Structure 1
């Protein structure tokens, strides 16, 4: 979901796959490494004291390019606004007159992968949901480990960053063995990252972001929505908000008792935030707005919940037990660094993941309620809140009854 919205699968990440078609696919122009090793070089990211008008993002993008791509001829540059996002706006900036002559791909098509900048302009009030300083820090940190694209610049209400060649996942591709195994290993590698270079948080004082973030979300949900129709639709189910606050508190107590490890998690691994570069057999994770320490099982459970898709949500796509056990074994082999993973370890993680999937539904339900009040994008956030919350209610008893002896899913 993230600040690209519950249709983020159609946002920055899917935009990347669209850029592949328009800008060419250069498998050698790659920003991330698969081994998660730490790059030592640190690059200072410039801050541009500019606020981009969300109604005129191209003019704003040009001002940013004057700073970070001063050699571009903006009179010939092309700009494309991607309208699929429902909380942020994204513009692709294409340098049509690259300085070097090596600008054709193997098939003879023009390759602009070295001459593309993505400029993301934050949506209205999304700063209420996201710690933007933490987001910038996370991108820089994870890029240094080879996980995130390069961050070229930040400005008052957005950032400019690197294009990553590849295609984003969809409900069909995410179940292919050659892809899901890479995703499992990539997530495991990320979960082994720890903040350092002055950002270290001692393990004894680390806390999950889940409780604090959801409580802050609750605080942002109005008791009366400014739109009377929205208020009427939401009133019986979600208002007063104290009703579902209590529900989440009971759920959280249950989940915390599972003792899922705290890891540095992405927390928003919907399919559109996973880019697959086939030529390199490589997975890149993007959009780190919610990255923070969290329960390991939340990150995985949230990812599994996103198998349902976004355009046409279908929770029949939620992965079967057989699929999950294979996925989780691959994940644990990478996370633990051993092929000697026991059935008991896999089964334990299976129970944790499915129960934390409930928390993922809850998380994005409250997120959607906030968007319903503040977002200026034409999207039915109220309907999305109902979609996620109804799935939570539908699976609540089944998932919470799981244990390592009776862990079956229909």
Structure 2
């Protein structure tokens, strides 16, 4: 079906003139003057006054012909909810597809700011009509016809719900991403909505997916027709906005003279679970006044779902024997619908918050959002012994309201009140209707019952007012609500650095104890770093291809093997091999080839607005692991030597403990889910001109550039001047590490980081401690205690980087904090007083990681999702090369007895880094490629 395009902008101030300009398409084969047309503005059919409807008919036409068309005009601001960058719009794609399946009228013409289609005769359904049994039964049947006639998408990976476009998840994310550019909501409310979407996805998407061991993971969803009832992995093409006004009743047109219905207004059509479509429709029964007494009762919902399933089975069984729906199937879908009851209110408010809708009837948006919060309160659990939730609030309702609500639900004395549908009666406690005492004793009974609830409310209030703001400011709540995989990745780093701290502490001592000369020890450390560089280079290319889980498991096994090798071998070259493969860290910095892959996975799993917080905790807990390892290693060595164990054997115990950390890391890595892996965003493509069933239904995002832009969504689109034709074959593209924009970002960043990491190599903690011991004769135990205390303070202070980044920006925090630290390094060797020098040294340790979390988040946002592992790998390689060069230069300065000069050069190089970062990126937005949960736009 080809939809012609006219380069015409519909003028809403003169609809008659604009309609006449389209007359040859609206009424073909007729020559008409403007006086022949009757144009009426319609108020029904949309809740958004920025979308205007006009009904155009012929004045001289017979009423029996009912030859009328509807013209839909998109107003300003609707590009947020209607993607007008692609022509025609998603709504028109769906409309054309529905018309081909006999589910809607036919679109006739499109123009620059709208389109026109055949008018569907009938009576718009009212809020009271939709509750009539003869109406809702045919609505259930028509909904079943929609969901079985149209192809559905099925996949078993929950993350793909955000990658599928359009879907309720990707659409909700798109709306929330559009909010920051608009002034309608405060920053707090924007963050609140984003956190709400994260909560919904955790409750309804990830927690409801099967365990990894029970599913067959695929990176490509499949567009299929399915039998009903469908499982939760199936996403149907739903209407998305089935309010009463979008239902047209057509009397006496169905089989046997019964009424039928048609659905109109497809701008919100989207892929969704059937349960969401049903929950959304039930919510619309309350109307724009949110009169919850109009909502369907539990028994009505059950019968509606039964009728829907029966119709779905019947339509899916065309040409074969149908069957009766079972009670178990009804119960299962009803349970799914109840689980989704909080989503519609949130979904509507998300769209309203974009500012693209000019509609708010009596605070409708706030009432709908309140439905979500009420549902969420129930999901989070009410105190035991609480009264029905519709009795909770600032006042006790009249006793007859209680009896009225119970009567509506059809409960008797023996019924335990079960889950209801909306905020006024979401969940009942085991209070029986026979226990409702006469007034006023009834009020006293409820007052006593509310006592534990009010105490709980007081506790909640104190937590929200004092504790929650503090936890929010340091990102603790973000980490708590993050996915299990993010928590495991943070734990992996903690375990890894818990092992590194001990081996770094004793490495030089152990090598010297087993007979290596000082020059061999220096060569050993340098070659170890070079070996780590080679592994980093390899993993930069193949890390994501291998998979995050597999890479983490291999790293854990190598860590285990390396620890055992150091405990039992004493050959230089075998130990060097074990040091490289087992990632034995010779420096205080974390130079780990596997670190880049973990950083990339964390960035991919974290929403853009949460990355600062998550990386801050990732850094802080890693530093805490290093500090704890230093403390435990020193204590263990003292205990073992006091027990009479030889020094070299004590050092070997440390490497055995390192191997044990490898086993612990292996167990954690095995618990990672498939969600940590890179998944290419997908878009559904379907070309209707072929019927052999062999064409690809889905293409990865990387392949879309080779496909004409007219292909989008669930059906093929038309360009303005070209007829339907098959898409050109997808040509293979050459694979490069970075796109041009990412390459520009990375070379500038790498240039700046080279100066920073050379400076870090010049001023390693091991060299600084050696300097203070030699220059000021400070005892090693006192210096170690000072270093440990400074490290603990630094790990905690690192949490301040996240709120600072939110307040001032990532680049600004990176530059300012790093400049302060660089100046302190520059001054370390200047004072002649050892106490002042030690204070500067401790200040340097305390502030050295303050810029780390913003820098990691900044790098993550600066490249595409699939480029992050490569980006982190490049940074890791620059770090390794810079550290090697810095270590070498420090040795030269020490040999020339110019130790102090090494630290001054280090501080100067780090200041150069700050200048370059400010010059390259100061004006750059911190959300370079902002993501709401997992999808790259």
Structure 1 residue 407, shift from structure 2 partner: 4.7
Counterparts of 1:271 and 1:82, CA distance in 2: 16
SS of the residue 2:350 aligns to: helix
Q: Secondary structure of the residue that 2:117 maps to in structure 1? A: strand
Q: After superposition, where does 1:9-408 map in structure 2 within 5 Å? A: 43-69=1-27, 71=30, 72-83=32-43, 85=46, 86-98=49-61, 103=62, 110-113=63-66, 115-131=67-83, 132-195=88-151, 207=161, 209-222=167-180, 225=183, 234-235=185-186, 239-256=188-205, 257-258=207-208, 260=232, 261-280=234-253, 281-310=259-288, 312-337=289-314, 338-371=322-355, 374=356, 377=358, 379-380=359-360, 383-398=363-378, 407-408=418-419
Instruction: For residue 136 of structure 1, report the CA deviation from its aligned partner.
Output: 1.5
The whole-number CA distance in structure 1 between the counterparts of 2:25 and 2:136 is 39
**Cα 1:406/1:355, change in 2 over 3 Å:** farther
Q: CA deviation digits over 1:168-205, x for unaligned, max 9?
A: 2222211222111111111011111334xxxx967679
Q: In the aligned structure 2, how far is the partner of 1:315 from the partner of 1:289? A: 26
Residue equivalent to 2:617: none
Matches of 2:156 and 2:5, distance apart in 1: 34
User: For each residue in 1:276-311, what CA deviation from the matched residue of structure 2 results, as whole angstroms up to 9, or x when unmatched?
Assistant: 11121211111111223211111111000000112x
2:309 aligned counterpart, secondary structure? helix
- Residue ranges of structure 2 left out of the alignment (5+ in a row): 210-231, 254-258, 315-321, 383-415, 426-937
Say if 1:73 and 1:95, in contact at 8 Å, map to a contact too: no
Aligned pair in 2 of structure 1 residues 392, 203: CA closer, same or farther (>3 Å)? Answer: closer
- Structure of greater Rg: 2
Counterpart-to-counterpart distance in 2, 1:326 and 1:339? 17
Distance 1:399 1:182 in 2: 33
Following TM superposition, by how much is the alpha carbon of 1:240 offset from its aligned partner in structure 2, in angstroms?
A: 4.2
User: Of Structure 1 and Structure 2, which has the larger fraction of its residues in strand?
Assistant: 1
User: CA contact under 8 A between 1:369 and 1:382: conserved in structure 2?
Assistant: no
The separation in 1 between residues aligned to 2:26 and 2:194, in whole angstroms, is 45
Q: How many residues align?
A: 337
What is the TM-score of this pair, normalised by structure 2?
0.34
Relative distance call for 1:240 and 1:361 in structure 2 (3 A) is closer
Given that 2:193 and 2:350 are in contact with CA atoms closer than 8 Å, whether structure 1 keeps it comes out as: no
Query: Aligned with 1:267: secondary structure?
Result: coil
Q: Is the 8 A contact 2:56 2:70 kept in 1?
A: yes
**Residue by residue, what CA displacement relative to the aligned partner does 1:19-40 show, whole Å, maximum 9, x if unpaired?**
xxxxxxxxxxxxxxxxxxxxxx
Structure-2 change in CA distance of 1:334 and 1:249 (3 Å): same
Q: Following TM superposition, by how much is the alpha carbon of 1:336 offset from its aligned partner in structure 2, in angstroms?
A: 2.6
Q: Decide whether aligned partners of structure 1 residues 407 and 185 sit closer, same or farther in structure 2, where only a CA change above 3 A counts.
A: farther
Residues in 2 aligned to 1:255 and 1:406: alpha-carbon distance in whole angstroms: 24
1:366–1:385 CA contact under 8 A, matched in 2:
no
Alignment CA distance shift 1:336-1:282 (3 Å): same
Judged with a 3 Å threshold, the aligned counterparts in structure 2 of structure 1 residues 123 and 381 are, in CA distance, closer, same or farther, namely farther
Specify the SS of the correspondent of 1:121. Answer: strand
- 1:368–1:381 CA contact under 8 A, matched in 2: no
